[in-house]
Amino acid sequence: MAGFLEVETQDPSLAAFQCQCGQVIKKRKDAFVPGLHVLICLACGDRSSEIQLMSGEVKAVTAESHRDGADG
């Protein structure tokens, strides 16, 4: 499993990501891009750029994404 798992949220302006410890982190969709940003869980200290989207696709920061600005 990826570092964080995208989960459903009631607010369409937010994206929600669940840590392996169970904590859910919510981010504004207009300010957070999976594959370009790192999530940090304040509950357990886990941090990762690897996110499994609800579609099953896994996004992560890569050296390539830093060079051309594309998501991983």
Residue 72 inside a domain? The answer is no
Whole-angstrom distance, CA of residue 63 vs CA of residue 67 = 7
- Is 69 inside a domain boundary? no
Does a structural domain hold residue 43?
yes
- Owning domain of residue 24: 4-64
pLDDT tens-digit readout, 2-61: 689 999 999 999 999 999 999 999 999 999 998 889 999 999 999 999 999 999 999 998
**Within a domain: 45:** yes
The reply to whether 56 falls in a domain is: yes
Structural domain count of the chain: 1
How far is it, in rounded angstroms, from Cα 67 to Cα 7? 29
Residues 6+ apart with CB under 8 A from 12: none
| Residue 70 included in any domain | no
3-state DSSP assignment of residue 64:
helix
- Residue 32 included in any domain: yes
Residue 71 located in a structural domain = no
Task: State the pLDDT at residue 44.
Answer: 94
Q: What is the pTM of this model?
A: 0.81
